[in-house]
Structure 1
Amino acid sequence: MQLLTFRTDGGTLPGCVADPASAEATLTEALRSGDAASAVFSVRPITLPGALNVGDLLRHHNWRELASARSGEPVEITGSDIAPVIPRPGKILCTGLNYADHITEMGHDLPDVPTLFAKFPDALTGPFDRVTVPTENAKALDFEGELAVVIGRHVPLGGAPDTGTAEDAIAGYAVFNDFTMRDLQYRTAQWLQGKNLVSASGFGPWLTTSDAFTPGEATLVTRVNDVEKQHADIRELVFDPVALVQFITTFIDLHPGDVIATGTSGGVGWARSPREMLTDGDTVTIEISGLGGISNRIVVC
């Protein structure tokens, strides 16, 4: 099942992709042509009182059954209508230094525990939206293609002591760009200021439920202006999604709709020689096999 949040004249609604295979084929072709925002997708709106997005849907313990039972007749939307799959997560927990090659290229040692930092909901944008960057913030822009994990049920503190419990807490997965302002990131020892540019982190295009996706079998590819920059097997994660859920719930609760970004692989612009920072007009496209892809164009003004 593929769930998304789409924009309407009056706000947003959750929906279920009517034909996942067709949608993935349409998206793949659109990403290759460079016009995913105009691609047309067939979606069944999910009509549930009080549910304006996928995050609202996940707050119901029987969200899978509701998504199937409350899906209406298909409507056509374009890529530009697709909002971040969870527009306002309660938490966005990002993982730094979680692929061995990226750890090496950034000059760090392999960690014993995950390195985590926060991203705020204001930093999210739709999977095919333009990313507008003020000139003063555009000195060292970087891409970070990542797998995102979306939580589907409440996990209290200490509530995921084993892999089975942690795995059961995952509703599904999506594609994520941990868009980074490197100069601000490294201005201090804390990364927060470099990771939270408003409306800059593409997230989507939809949530592929955990029963329809196996992370360890997927490949992540990031392209800038159609040139491949990152290529990684998800199985190379130092801490996989289940391990991250287990670790995080040793010190906080997780709630439906919370998001965990699992970290980026080697190949980021900052670590290249010479460095390759994003500039006005660049388009960052991130694809994960089985999840689709996102594509955001940078506009500096």
Structure 2
Amino acid sequence: MIKYWPNKQSIKLNNAVVDLFLDTENKLIYDLSNITNYYLYIDILNNINKNKLFDIILKELKKLILDLVELNLHKQNLKNLKNQILYIFTEKIFINFLYKINKKYNYKNKLVNIKYDILTENLLIYLIFGSSYIDSNIFIFEPIYTPYKHVQILFENFIIQISNLIMENLFNESIKSSQINILLKSKQICNKSYISSRSIVLLLNNLKWQNFIYCNIYKLKCMYNERQQVWLISSKGIVTKYIYVTRTQEIQKLTKFSIFLLFCLELKDIIIPKLERILVQIGKYLIYFSINLFSNLIIVTMRVIIFYFRK
């Protein structure tokens, strides 16, 4: 039986939110290693400190939801204030986590790279207002029949994305790389795979390259295919999957260069499969002719040898 998310503010919605937090907190006992082929900034943390960061995010998210409910905001108010809300929320987590791993560190810099996406906005709407307030053309199902599992996916993805954002800001240019290295090593918070300066630099370079590819190519492709990559906590570790998300408004705002890239990607999807089939056929013919030629050469050679011996 499918469990649906409550569609309006009520005791049921409050209970569903509580269940969501409990379910996620219970998952923190799992191994939180990244078992995907993608890099994350949180990969540098060992399991204990990754757990601490997730725990801080969950506690701050509880406070945020209670504050937003008490403010009695309308949906449009939430949309208008979403960037400020996310910034303040992320900054609190950043300061708390930094204080937890190094009480002597004095935080003075502003956060950068605060990313706000459509999934974050809809998650907050689910948690505060219920599923009936979600726009009907975003996800594949009717808002009032939103599965609990869907909200859980958005929730876990949010936790992981925020934790990744925290670590990304820890590594931003406002802190020197040598300071980062000392900070991470002094409190023994590093994953064993990243205990040297070289391994940390290599991770950061891989992340920069991955982000470049994602922002310039992969993001456009996902947008065009109407799907979104999300991160989840499984019993084996952190995994990734894709969900359906309509991006009609975002596609309409694309630049000419982005549209050109989309056209190239679409052209590639059409041409390459056909080209592969042609090359496979050519390869088959070449192999067939090569085998025949080799067989004929052997036959001719055998006949020459037989003719020579008869003489």
TM-score, length of structure 2 as denominator length: 0.24
Structure of higher CA gyration radius: 2
**Which structure shows the higher helix fraction?**
2
Normalised TM-score (structure 1): 0.25
